[in-house]
């Protein structure tokens, strides 16, 4: 039943996409497309949510006679796909709502409207697919539609380059997944997921599949060092699409990883966990350090996606390590933490991109060095962005803290792991997680402070106005979700229990019935957290403080010029910028990680030239990994270019010799 | 009935930390003055300062937003909540299940987040310098703190402060290298978090290396009073934390009688006096560091914490 509803939703989305092509020139199309996407998103969200909460134990399957003639298209709805469908359709619901307002200012709607519902349909289909062919086809469909959306503003500086890099990386990732499925299907070509589940791959084969999946799904999710396309492509798209790509599409990639590694690949080895943990830890720290160095608001948010994907993979790696040692409850805790963070990140990252989109729409500016003081002009957007910043910085009482807290609890269970590598690795990864959480708080003080606080740094903010009601509604729905998931995490953890049961055959104790809605993942004397009580305590303490002050303190209040130690400077240029805010952190971490070098030129006394400051930074991942590959490809292409101007005789002899060579290979093979 | 009794004990703890926090600040100032052969202000001076501040007119910069006005209350509320959750004279209080050590560290993180935003709100260079340096210091101090939490909770098998205190009081503790490392690291973190010498100087307003004082430079009147109170509370909180985790002797357990609570309170005040004295001596004997040396200082704490945790990971076999 639920599966039928979901597939009908997808069909409606695809139909809307076709209609949007036809009517792209009319202004009513914008309202039509986003309204349909909104309703479909709500219906799919309801169907998937109801399935997850009520009947998640039994899977629904369906086979449609499309696709390969001897295979058909298999679809399946189980707890895991239902969870990710909730994430996808929550994102599509809110971004369609946001699009109703934001999309009106779209300069070229014909380049956005047809692809937007198609992109949503593609993401839904990936999660529903139950055979390798359908999965890969819809995965590639998702990549191509999102690529088209990245190209929507193709005349803007650097967008075409970003889209090109995205296309190359996406193709490379799909190739890796294709090979992974080829290995899983075996020589008999069992492309249905059921056949792969029942097959038992040899250890060497599963290792190869793991590596390929890490490349394929990891490049889409943005794991370091495969992240380079992400901070270029995500900000280039229109903001509600950026929210979908960063908040939701990376989660589809996480789904691909979980589906293949936890579900299809059979029982895990402990060292898989070690590999995933390492990649996750490195992504978390490098992602946030890159983010701190940015002054483009949307690119900063995109780098934070890299960080949060790292945190999710830390949880997944722990789950694999525990499961490889048959520690099922611990594995369930780690997986719950990872999946909860999947949900949380999709919520607050969409929220933050919506906020950045509102700023962009109001000022036409993404560069934080030219913003400032927007809290006076866009007070509601400022509140929403502040809530999102608090949530992503893992601060209580918002939701980001709860999932990181659960990850820490899982890390604290790991001394029982017998392998020495893990004993050294896990505390180091724990330190990296703590470091990334602390740096994220710094980064969002910078992002919020430079954009919304202080004084305006340029004239672009002078005409800024509060964004429209649809956008605000979308943002405040997400603010509310951030708060609810942070205050009442027990219900959300319980909703994840069917997924851990399905994948690991274990689950956390049910949380919602516990006294005062405390969450207790393992045992009460070990650790517990009560977001609701904490929220009430903080609110009461704040009220108490305000009451005492209100009752007994002087009410006199005077507005005056800033004190600034007696030397207030009228120019806004004297205040801290995003770049100067990050300077101490750049000096502490960046000299090593980015080879950041500062050069100061001070003219001698009496001379009148201006002082100069030069900063140089290098992206070592690009310089040492991608630049050589780029160089080799360029070299080969340059030399193969000569082939183009060969004579017809030379072509014929080339064809002939290739055929002979291939026949000889075949003869030797048999 | 039992619930009311528990609530009373919890309220007593709340009242105790609120009442003692300014006194601790005054006591440390007094000791520091006497070490310099000055007479120093009276012990009750911080209370008088607070009273004077709340009676004064508050001056707001022209473009200060609601963040600037509400941040003091948020900082006070989160710090007070955290301080109320750290056992002072008794463990196992009624709200102690609400937050474990990780959550307490994160609550202080929320307070710091609000303070740094308030520093940036007016748009002056001093506010920015303070916020930026505070976040740099926090980016090392917070992971170090979490590594200390890891060390203790691995030993005690729990992140609940009450369980940690019970474990340290218990018989199987012994002398451990990890604990010593964690103690040193915690002291370094406490110094940095409370803006004490050698990381920052709480007594100056006009020094270019200042951090905490730079962020609150624009505050005046009642807002400043609330922030000063929160700063005193935070200092008290770190003393309570060190006392509860490393010297939990005298702590009453949940449901113990009045006498046990009284013993707990007396030993708590004694611990505060000893800790405050040591801090004053240390601050008097040390010089302030350059701001970019702070990262080395805190990096040492992070490494000590990590080493302590690592030793435990390695020594605990299945």
**Strands A612-616 and A597-601: what pairing?**
antiparallel
Q: State the average pLDDT over residues B97-117.
A: 93
Q: Of B314, B310, B99, B242, which Cα lies nearest the Cα of A430?
A: B310
Shortest alpha-carbon distance between residue A514 and chain B (Å): 12
Pairs of residues, one from chain A and one from chain B, whose beta carbons lie less than 8 Å apart: 300
Contact A584/B133, CB-based, under 8 Å? yes
Residue with tokens 């109703």: A100
Task: Specify the residue for token string 């005193």.
Answer: B232
Give the confidence band of B253 by pLDDT, cuts at 50, 70, 90: confident
Q: What average pLDDT does the structure give for chain B?
A: 90
Could you give the CA distance from residue B37 to residue B31 in angstroms, rounded to a whole number?
10
Query: What are A644's two structure tokens?
Result: 């183009």
What pLDDT is stored for residue B1 in this prediction? 66
Strands B58-61 and A557-560: parallel
Report in angstroms the alpha-carbon separations of B107 from A459, B66, B101, B186. Answer: 37, 21, 10, 17
Number of domain units in chain B:
1
Gyration radius from chain A CA atoms? 26
CA separation for the pair A153, B202 (Å, rounded): 52
Q: Give the whole-angstrom CA distance, residue B126 versus residue B209.
A: 10
Which residues does B244 contact at the CB level (< 8 Å), separation at least 6?
B86, B87, B88, B91, B161, B164, B165, B251
Higher pLDDT: A587 or B313? It is: A587
Residue B318 has what pLDDT?
A: 43
What does pLDDT average to over chain A?
92
Interchain CB contact of A570 with B (< 8 Å): no
A174-224: per-residue pLDDT in tens? 999 999 999 998 887 788 999 898 888 888 999 999 999 999 999 999 999
Contacts with A378 (C-beta within 8 Å, 6 or more apart), sequence order: A358, A359, A362, A452, A464, A465, A466, A467
Residue-wise pLDDT for A351-360, tens only, equals 999 999 999 9
CA distance A311 to A315: 7
Cα(B283)–Cα(B60) distance, integer angstroms: 33
Residues of chain B in contact with residue A321, where contact means CB-CB under 8 angstroms, are none
Chain B, 101 to 160: residues with Cβ < 8 Å from chain A are 102-103, 106-107, 109-110, 112-113, 116-117, 120-129, 131-133, 135-136, 138-143, 146-147, 150, 153-154, 157-160
> Which residues of chain A are within 8 Å of residue B142 when distances are taken between CB atoms?
434, 437-438, 441
Whether the Cβ atoms of residue B302 and residue B140 lie closer than 8 Å to each other: yes
Give the span between the Cα atoms of A579 and A456, in whole angstroms. 15
B181 touches chain A (CB under 8 A): no
Tell me the torsion sign for CA atoms B157, B163, B168, B172.
negative
Helix (H, G, I), strand (E, B) or coil at A523: coil
Which structural domain, as residue segments, surrounds residue B132? Answer: 2-315
Report the residue of chain B nearest A327, measured CA to CA: B318
Q: How far is B166 from chain A (nearest CA, A)?
A: 11
- Please, which residues have CB within 8 angstroms of residue A238's CB and are 6 or more apart in sequence? A102, A103, A106, A112, A149, A152, A153, A357
Give the model's pLDDT for residue B206: 62
**What tokens does A372 get?**
């400032």
Res. A618: pLDDT tops 50: yes
- Other C-beta atoms lying within 10 Å of the C-beta of residue B169: 15
Average pLDDT over residues A21-25: 81
**Confidence band for B207, pLDDT divided at 50, 70 and 90:** low
B22-80: pLDDT as tens digits? 999 999 999 999 999 999 999 999 999 999 999 999 999 988 999 999 999 999 999 99
CB A77 within 8 A of CB A51: yes
Secondary structure class of A84 (helix, strand, coil): helix
């Amino acid at each position: 039943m639920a599966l039928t509803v979901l597939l009908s939703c997808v069909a409606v989305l695809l139909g809307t996409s076709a209609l949007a092509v036809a009517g792209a020139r009319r202004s009513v199309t914008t309202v039509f497309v986003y309204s349909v996407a909104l309703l479909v998103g709500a219906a799919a969200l309801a169907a998937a949510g109801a399935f997850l909460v009520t009947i998640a134990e039994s899977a629904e399957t369906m086979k449609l006679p499309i696709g390969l003639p001897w295979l058909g298209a298999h679809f399946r709805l189980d707890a895991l796909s239902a969870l990710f469908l909730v994430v996808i359709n929550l994102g599509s619901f809110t971004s369609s709502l946001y699009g109703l307002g934001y999309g009106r200012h779209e300069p070229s709607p014909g380049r956005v409207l047809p692809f937007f519902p198609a992109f949503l349909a593609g993401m839904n289909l990936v999660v529903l697919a139950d055979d390798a062919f359908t999965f890969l086809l819809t995965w590639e469909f998702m990549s191509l539609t999102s690529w088209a959306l990245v190209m929507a503003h193709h005349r803007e500086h650097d967008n075409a380059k970003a889209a090109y890099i995205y296309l190359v990386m996406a193709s490379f990732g799909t190739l890796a997944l294709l090979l992974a499925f080829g290995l899983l299907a075996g020589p008999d070509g069992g492309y249905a997921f059921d056949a792969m589940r029942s097959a038992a791959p040899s250890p060497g084969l599963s290792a190869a599949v793991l590596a390929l999946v890490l490349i394929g799904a990891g490049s889409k999710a943005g794991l370091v060092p495969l992240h380079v396309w992400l901070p270029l492509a995500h900000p280039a798209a229109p903001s509600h699409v950026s929210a979908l790509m960063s908040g939701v599409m990376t989660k589809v990639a996480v789904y691909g990883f979980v589906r293949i590694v936890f579900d299809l690949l059979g029982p895990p080895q402990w060292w898989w966990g070690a590999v995933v943990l390492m990649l996750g830890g490195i992504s978390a720290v490098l992602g946030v350090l890159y983010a701190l160095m940015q002054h483009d608001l949307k690119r900063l948010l995109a780098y934070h996606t890299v960080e949060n994907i790292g945190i999710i993979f830390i949880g997944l790696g722990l789950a694999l390590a525990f499961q490889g040692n048959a520690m099922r409850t611990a594995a369930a805790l780690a997986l719950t933490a990872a999946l909860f963070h999947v949900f949380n990140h999709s919520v607050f990252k969409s929220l933050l991109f919506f906020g950045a989109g509102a700023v962009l729409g109001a000022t036409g500016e993404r560069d934080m060095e030219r913003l400032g003081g927007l809290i006076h002009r866009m007070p509601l957007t400022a509140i929403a962005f502040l809530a999102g910043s608090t949530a992503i910085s893992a601060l209580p009482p918002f939701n980001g803290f709860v999932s990181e807290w659960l990850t820490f609890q899982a890390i604290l269970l790991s001394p029982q792991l017998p392998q020495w590598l893990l004993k050294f690795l896990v505390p180091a990864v724990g330190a990296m997680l703590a470091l990334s959480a602390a740096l994220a708080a710094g980064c969002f003080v910078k992002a919020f402070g430079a954009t919304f606080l202080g004084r305006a740094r340029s004239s672009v903010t002078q005409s800024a106005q509060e964004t429209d009601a649809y956008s605000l509604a979308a943002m405040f729905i997400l603010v509310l979700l951030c708060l609810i998931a942070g205050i009442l995490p027990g219900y959300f953890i319980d909703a994840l229990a069917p997924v851990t049961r399905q994948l690991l055959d274990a689950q956390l104790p049910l949380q919602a019935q516990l006294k005062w809605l405390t969450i207790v993942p393992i045992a009460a004397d070990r650790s517990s957290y009560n977001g609701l009580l904490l929220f009430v305590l903080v609110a009461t303490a704040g009220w108490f403080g305000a009451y005492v002050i209100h009752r007994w303190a002087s009410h006199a209040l005077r507005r005056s010029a800033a004190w600034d130690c007696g030397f207030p400077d009228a120019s806004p240029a004297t205040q801290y910028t995003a770049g100067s805010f990050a300077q101490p952190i750049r000096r502490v971490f960046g000299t090593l990680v980015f080879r950041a070098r500062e050069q100061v030129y001070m003219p001698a006394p009496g001379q009148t030239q201006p002082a100069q400051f030069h900063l140089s930074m290098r992206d070592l991942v690009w310089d040492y990994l991608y630049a050589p590959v780029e160089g080799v490809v360029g070299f080969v292409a340059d030399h193969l270019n000569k082939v183009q101007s060969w004579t017809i005789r030379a072509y014929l002899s080339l064809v002939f010799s290739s055929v002979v060579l291939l026949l000889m290979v075949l003869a030797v093979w048999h | 009935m039992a619930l009311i009794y528990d609530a009373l004990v919890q309220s007593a703890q709340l009242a105790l930390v609120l009442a003692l926090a300014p006194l601790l600040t005054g006591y440390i100032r007094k000791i520091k003055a006497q070490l310099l052969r000055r007479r120093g202000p009276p012990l009750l001076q911080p209370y008088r300062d607070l009273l004077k501040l709340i009676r004064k007119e508050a001056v707001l910069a022209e473009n200060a937003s609601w963040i600037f006005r509400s941040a003091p209350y948020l900082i006070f509320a989160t710090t007070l909540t955290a301080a109320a959750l750290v056992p002072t004279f008794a463990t196992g209080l009624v709200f102690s299940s609400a937050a474990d050590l990780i959550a307490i560290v994160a609550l202080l993180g929320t307070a710091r987040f609000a303070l740094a935003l308030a520093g940036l709100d007016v748009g002056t260079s001093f506010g920015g310098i303070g916020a930026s340096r505070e976040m740099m210091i926090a980016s090392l101090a917070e992971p170090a703190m979490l590594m200390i939490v890891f060390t203790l909770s691995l030993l005690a098998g729990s992140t609940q402060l009450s369980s940690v205190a019970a474990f340290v009081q218990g018989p199987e503790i012994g002398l451990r290298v990890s604990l010593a490392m964690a103690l040193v690291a915690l002291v370094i973190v406490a110094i940095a978090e409370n803006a004490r010498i050698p990381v920052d100087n709480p007594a100056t307003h006009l020094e270019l290396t200042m951090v905490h004082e730079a962020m609150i430079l624009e505050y005046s009147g009642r807002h400043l009073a609330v922030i000063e109170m929160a700063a005193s509370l935070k200092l008290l909180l770190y003393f309570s934390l060190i006392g509860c985790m490393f010297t939990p002797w005298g702590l009453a357990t949940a449901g113990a009688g009045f006498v046990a609570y009284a013993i707990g309170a007396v030993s708590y005040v004694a611990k505060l006096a000893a800790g405050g004295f040591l801090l004053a001596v240390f601050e008097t004997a040390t010089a302030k560091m350059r701001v970019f040396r702070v990262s080395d200082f805190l990096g040492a704490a992070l490494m000590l914490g990590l080493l302590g945790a690592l030793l435990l990971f390695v020594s605990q076999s299945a």
